[in-house]
Amino acid sequence: MEPLPIGLAWRFASWLPSFLLRWFFPRERLARLVDIDLRPRHDPVTIYGGESPEIHIWIVLANRGYFSIELDRLTVEITAGAVVTQLHHLRRTQLLPNQQIEIFVRGSFTAEQTRLLAIQMKSNSVEMQFFSEFNSKIHDFSVSTGRLAGINSRTVNL
């Protein structure tokens, strides 16, 4: 008798009742199976100055788990120079097992924040931290990335 492939075994396991799956997959394990990062190519972070100052961010979410999960909400905390701001993504997004998606998040700056950015953004270096909440049939869980430093941003009209 040949052994079953791992993916096929988990497909059968997904039919198990939720209370049994909770025992095998605590919240911490589900959180470790989700990756959140910036898009690696082109310009993942762009800061626009001028009359309507904005910031655009491309985020990559990857579900390396065996079950479908749903992104409930995502908060991005950005530190650029002395300016700290938060952006929110509130649209629920489904992630299938082994699926990777890109999310576009945009936000605006005040005139005072733009003035500070123009003075302090000499190296175009930005720091970010992601806070997210996910839902699944097993658990609702949180994923936090910790501080991501050394992100090179593109600045326009600063």
Distance between start and end Cα atoms, the chain: 67
Find the range with the poorest average confidence among 8-12, 100-104, 136-140: 8-12
Residue 62 is predicted with a pLDDT of 97
pLDDT bin (cut points 50, 70, 90) of residue 20 is confident
Which residues, in sequence order, are bridge partners of residue 45?
57
Measured between alpha carbons, how far is 151 from 127 in angstroms, rounded to an integer? 6
Report in angstroms the alpha-carbon separations of 1 from 4, 6, 7, 8, 104. Answer: 9, 15, 18, 15, 48
Residue 7 is predicted with a pLDDT of 55
Where is mean pLDDT largest: 14-18, 109-113, 123-127?
A: 109-113
Residue 53 is predicted with a pLDDT of 93
Q: Which residues of 29-41 are buried (b: 16+ CB within 10 A; e: fewer)?
A: ebbebbebebeee
The whole-number average pLDDT for the span 31-57 is 92
- Three-state secondary structure call for residue 42: coil
Residue 11 is predicted with a pLDDT of 61
Is 50 exceeded by the pLDDT of residue 1? no
Is 90 exceeded by the pLDDT of residue 17? no
Residue 13 is predicted with a pLDDT of 63
Residue 10 is predicted with a pLDDT of 56
The whole-number average pLDDT for the span 117-130 is 86
Q: Where do the domains of the chain lie, and which CATH numbers do they carry?
A: 6-156 (2.60.40.1470)
